[in-house]
Amino acid sequence: MYAIVTIAGQQFKVEKDQEIIVNRLEGEEGKKVDFKDVLLVENGSKINVGAPLLKGAMVSATIVNHLRGDKVIIFKKKRRKGYEKKTGHRQDLTKIQISGITL
């Protein structure tokens, strides 16, 4: 059984007991969160598709920990002008474990 769900503005294909990394969510580690923006649920050979969302469907998850992504370097340069600028960015992320999918 799997579901396609919208979490923090992105769509993910999730299954029970799967761990995924999403954009930062509010809440402490160990807290349960529920996502109600379920777009599709597949149960065996039966597929339920929402228009655009499935009513009553929900994906439950537990926050494992908060972390930060790899550093991304942004380097800008204009040749022959003496212009160089170097900055960096690290994305705030949350690791969650899917605990259940309900219809």
Whether residue 75 is contained in a domain is answered as: no
Q: Is 78 among the domain residues?
A: no
Q: List, for residues 55-94, the tens digit of each pLDDT value.
A: 999 999 999 999 999 999 999 999 999 999 999 999 999 9
Whether residue 73 is contained in a domain is answered as no
Buried b / exposed e along 11-33 (16+ C-beta atoms within 10 A):
ebebeeeeebebeebeeeeeeeb
Nearest CA to 99 out of 58, 68, 67 is that of: 58
Share of the chain above pLDDT 90, in %: 97
- Overall average pLDDT of the 16-43 stretch: 96
20 in any annotated domain = yes
Q: What are the structure tokens assigned to 84, written together?
A: 């160089």
Count: domains in the chain: 1
- Structural domain for 35, as ranges: 2-66+95-102
**Mean pLDDT, rounded, for 25-40:** 96
Q: Is the pLDDT of residue 103 over 90?
A: no
Domain-located, residue 7: yes
Average pLDDT value for residue range 47-53: 92
